Amino acid sequence: MTQLPYSIVRLLPKAKPQVIRHGFPWVFANELVMDRRTKGATPGSLVVLEDADRRPLGLGTINPLSKIAVRMLDFDTDAVIDQAWFKAKLERALQHRDACYDEPFYRLVHAEADGLPGIIIDRFGDVAVIQPNAAYAEAMIEMIVAALVEVTGVSTVIKNGTGRARSLEGLDEEMVVVHGTAPDGPVPVQMNGATYMADVMGGQKTGLFLDQRPNHAFAAGLAKGGKVLDVFSHVGGFSLAALANGAASAVAVDGSAPALELAKAGAEASGVADKFETRHGDAFDVLEALGAEGETFDVVVCDPPAFAPSKQTAEKGLRAYERVARLAAPLVKEGGYLVLCSCSHAADLKRFRDASARGIGRGGRRSQLVYTGQAGPDHPLLPQLAESGYLKALVFRL
């Protein structure tokens, strides 16, 4: 056996190496022999993972500061993780997106599901936003960006180094242009016939939520000629798609005034500003107020942030989803539709569906479930990793 160029880390006897062999991409710290050498490893450095019997399982990257101690990169322990390696991963990811979309507006890399653990890349035409949420991605950011530019030809790459995932990896927060120049204002993005405005330097996440695209389209089809209420609207995801596809009017509700300004700009760019209104305020308060006003809509959409981001918050989050459904259900006209969404991976589909149904019932309505949606094909799901299939969209007819 040739001498391996990387340090070796080893699973504890209690750990199950078969899950790694079958494609699970993570090794948790409590599954690893955490001796002095392993604890002292440089975050983001490369290691060969072995089972308890010293049989190699693959090449990974270690971060002893994180609960996810090892992220698997390649089953070939002799692989060289360099710009060419990243280029090959990006080319494979791009091939899939080119097969799915006519225009370059999509998530190019969906972390583990695209073989690049902890890395998110969203593409908005000539602008790409990368989130390096793992220590190795931060350490190798220059070669990743170089490979990204080589593969896609984008003129600007922004590193969005913010968010909870980075803090769990022990990484600092930073927002910086790493290639090209910052765009002069929001970037227009075309989806489902509407134009959205992505604030790639100061907005939430990468500036736009691309994952809901197929669910936007389905809801828009139900809203033709009708009134739409889009709660937790961000930059108008559901409402602008509905208006672009024939809805009579739409009201977008959000707690972020800057997000609503971007929604208004999107409505202008889409040519539907005369049918579009915004309402700034706490979503729960606005739902209660609309109920007191006796307002009703043909389609009501509630797409809140992750109420259950972890197992510890799951029960509290499910109660919040139930409350959303209870307050929203009375606002739906007889025979109309209620769209309820969750981006909480800790609340699985069954529990979210049950909480939504309870809320609808407690809102005094009866329902039938007519559609269950997930993220679009640019957000592939890694079958071995439930967390990669976080998004759920339920459409009830009331």
As a three-state string, the secondary structure of 162-179 is CCHHHHHCCCCCEEEEEE
- Dihedral sign for Cα atoms in the order 141, 26, 372, 398: negative
What residues have CB less than 8 Å from 105, skipping those under 6 apart?
Answer: 123, 124, 125, 189, 190, 191, 210
> Which pLDDT does position 386 carry in this prediction?
83
**Once rounded to an integer, what is the mean pLDDT over residues 104-108?**
98
Percent of the chain with pLDDT over 90: 92
> Which pLDDT does position 165 carry in this prediction?
87
**Once rounded to an integer, what is the mean pLDDT over residues 41-61?**
96
CATH numbers and ranges of domains, the chain = 7-74 (2.30.130.10), 83-179 (3.30.750.80), 188-397 (3.40.50.150)
> Which pLDDT does position 283 carry in this prediction?
97
What is the C-alpha separation between 34 and 12, in angstroms, rounded? 9
Cβ atoms within 10 Å of 122's Cβ, excluding its own: 28
- Mind listing the pLDDT tens digit for each residue in 236-270? 999 999 999 999 999 999 999 999 999 999 999 99
Active site residues: 343
- pLDDT bin (cut points 50, 70, 90) of residue 5 is confident
**Once rounded to an integer, what is the mean pLDDT over residues 360-368?**
98
- Mind listing the pLDDT tens digit for each residue in 152-183? 999 999 999 998 889 889 999 999 999 999 99
> Which pLDDT does position 261 carry in this prediction?
97
Q: Is the pLDDT of residue 3 over 80?
A: no
- pLDDT bin (cut points 50, 70, 90) of residue 94 is very high
Q: Report DSSP state, residue 252.
A: E
Cβ contact 202:160 at 8 Å: no
- Dihedral sign for Cα atoms in the order 200, 201, 205, 207: negative
- Mind listing the pLDDT tens digit for each residue in 175-223? 999 999 999 999 999 999 999 999 999 877 888 999 999 999 999 999 9
Q: At how many degrees (to 10) do helices 237-244 and 213-222 cross?
A: 50
- Dihedral sign for Cα atoms in the order 131, 156, 379, 343: positive
What residues have CB less than 8 Å from 271, skipping those under 6 apart?
Answer: none
Q: Is the pLDDT of residue 344 over 60?
A: yes
What is the C-alpha separation between 374 and 17, in angstroms, rounded? 30
- pLDDT bin (cut points 50, 70, 90) of residue 2 is very low
What is the C-alpha separation between 28 and 73, in angstroms, rounded? 15
**Once rounded to an integer, what is the mean pLDDT over residues 73-101?**
97
Cβ contact 119:385 at 8 Å: no
- pLDDT bin (cut points 50, 70, 90) of residue 1 is very low
Q: Mean pLDDT for the chain?
A: 95
Q: Counting Cβ atoms within 10 Å, is residue 238 exposed (0-12), middle (13-18) or buried (19+)? A: buried
What is the C-alpha separation between 90 and 101, in angstroms, rounded? 16
Question: Residue 92 carries which side chain, given as an amino acid letter?
Answer: R
- Mind listing the pLDDT tens digit for each residue in 302-333? 999 999 888 888 999 999 999 999 999 999 99
Percent of the chain with pLDDT over 70: 99
What is the C-alpha separation between 111 and 40, in angstroms, rounded? 26
Q: Where are the beta strands (DSSP E) in 224-324?
A: 227-231, 249-254, 276-280, 297-302
> Which pLDDT does position 4 carry in this prediction?
52
